[in-house]
Amino acid sequence: MGFFGTIGYYICIPFAALLRLFYNLTGSYGIAIILFTLVIKLILLPFQKKSKKSMIRMSRMNGKIQEIQKKYANNQAKLNEEIQKFYAEEGVNPMSGCLPMILSMAILIIMFNAMRMVANNELASQCLELLTTGVQTNESWLWVKNIWMPDSPFHPIIADSSSLRMIPADVWAKVFAAQSAEAISKLAALGIDANTISGDTVFAALQALPTYASEVALWPTLPTLNLLITRLSIYSHNNGWFILPLLACVTQFLMTASQPQQPTAQGQPDTGKFMKYFFPFFTLFICSGYNAAFALYWVVSNIYGWVESIVFNKVLEKQDAASAAAVKEDSVK
């Protein structure tokens, strides 16, 4: 796993445990993910508050900064000096806007891996249940039939070969050890034991089941889409209709657009506009191929961030108006 991989693994464990705790309390992973997301965001709120206020104030300084840039366009040293002086007068730290971005990316990576930990365990348990009982219990949520598979017509409800092969050996071993003696005996009859269990052996056993074959059957009247880097096949028993990935894309755009526009250095490209359109498509790409649980987390996180930006902006406007009124009143006195 490596040093950093080991550290990342242990960082993700408490997040995965917290998600399971909410599931045990609610009985629904969909509701658990919503509550889990809100709790994580509220914990991060004190760290975000000061930085967001600073970012909003910086965005309102764009006009003045552009004036300074035009005035000292031919004197870079003086330009930097005047801009830093202006920041100091306004009590703004230009580096403070980096903190929310760093925190958001760190949490997103942690959540990606935490969701994968839970998904691997759930998918492995579902497949062994199907092999030993002939029935698979899926964790559905609204239109998504199995929240641990992607919300997409290009993915089946049950784990396919690629999903099974992505499950690590230690997860298979842990799930196998948790089986009852009767289940272990049935798996042994299929050639699966503690030493041989893996994504390949489980998939080979599943292929012999008529139930599994019907679950992963393709839609007979619809063609396979051959793209440059992949092939997309529509399953007759598909897991969803691409709703969560599209919602994640739209809410990502709204959340990114609601963020305050930061001043751009003279002669430098405006990365804010690029990110405004890049991140929604990046979100669509990630959520379309990953489990619906993570896509749901992304949607809830985006909606929270969008509302948070609007609220912070309104609160800051009232505070600035009150400060301006107080200054005006003092000047009159």
- Which residues in 201-233 are b (16+ Cβ under 10 Å) and which e? bbbebbeeeeebeebbeeeeeeeeeeeeeeeeb
Cα–Cα distance measured from residue 34 to residue 19, given in angstroms and rounded to the nearest whole number: 10
User: Domain-by-domain residue ranges, the chain?
Assistant: 3-321
For residue 152, what are the β-bridge partners? Answer: none
- Average pLDDT, integer, range 21-31: 95
- Average pLDDT, integer, range 133-162: 90
Confidence class for position 256, pLDDT limits 50, 70, 90: confident
- Average pLDDT, integer, range 134-141: 88
Report, in angstroms and rounded to the nearest whole number, the Rg of the chain calculated over CA atoms.
26
Mean pLDDT of the chain: 82
Q: Output 272 or 44, whichever has higher pLDDT.
A: 44
Percent of the chain with pLDDT over 90: 40
Cα–Cα distance measured from residue 290 to residue 295, given in angstroms and rounded to the nearest whole number: 7
- Cβ atoms of 49 and 312 closer than 8 Å: yes
For residue 156, what are the β-bridge partners? Answer: 238
Residue ranges of the alpha helices (H) in the chain?
3-26, 29-60, 62-71, 76-90, 98-133, 161-165, 169-177, 181-189, 199-207, 210-215, 243-258, 271-289, 292-332
Question: What letter would DSSP give residue 262?
Answer: P
- As given in the structure block, the two tokens for residue 160 are 């396919």
User: Can you give the pLDDT at residue 228?
Assistant: 46
Q: Is the pLDDT of residue 261 over 80?
A: no
Q: Output 94 or 183, whichever has higher pLDDT.
A: 183
From 29-33, 111-115, 184-188, 233-237, the region with the lowest mean pLDDT: 233-237
User: Which residue, among 159, 139, 146, 158, has the nearest Cα to 28 in the 3D structure?
Assistant: 139
Cα–Cα distance measured from residue 159 to residue 149, given in angstroms and rounded to the nearest whole number: 7
User: Can you give the pLDDT at residue 331?
Assistant: 65
User: Can you give the pLDDT at residue 330?
Assistant: 66
Angle at 157 between CA 39 and CA 247, to 5 degrees: 45
Cα–Cα distance measured from residue 312 to residue 321, given in angstroms and rounded to the nearest whole number: 14
Amino acid in position 130: L
Cα–Cα distance measured from residue 238 to residue 226, given in angstroms and rounded to the nearest whole number: 18
Q: Output 185 or 86, whichever has higher pLDDT.
A: 185
- Cβ atoms of 133 and 38 closer than 8 Å: no
**What digits encode the pLDDT tens for the residues 43-91?**
888 777 767 766 766 666 777 777 777 777 777 787 777 777 877 776 6
User: Can you give the pLDDT at residue 287?
Assistant: 92
Q: Is the pLDDT of residue 163 over 80?
A: yes
**What digits encode the pLDDT tens for the residues 291-327?**
999 999 999 999 998 898 888 878 777 876 777 677 6
Other CB atoms within a 10 A radius of the CB of residue 255 amount to: 22
Which SS3 state, helix, strand or coil, does residue 219 take?
A: coil
User: Can you give the pLDDT at residue 8?
Assistant: 73
From 23-32, 81-90, 265-274, 277-286, the region with the lowest mean pLDDT: 265-274
User: Can you give the pLDDT at residue 270?
Assistant: 56
User: Can you give the pLDDT at residue 93?
Assistant: 66
- Cβ atoms of 313 and 57 closer than 8 Å: no
- Average pLDDT, integer, range 153-176: 91
User: Which residue, among 248, 333, 237, 330, has the nearest Cα to 289 in the 3D structure?
Assistant: 248
Q: Is the pLDDT of residue 230 over 60?
A: no
Parallel/antiparallel/unpaired status of strands 225-226 and 231-232: antiparallel
User: Can you give the pLDDT at residue 110?
Assistant: 87
User: Can you give the pLDDT at residue 18?
Assistant: 92
Interacting residues of 290 by C-beta distance below 8 A, sequence separation 6+:
112, 115, 150
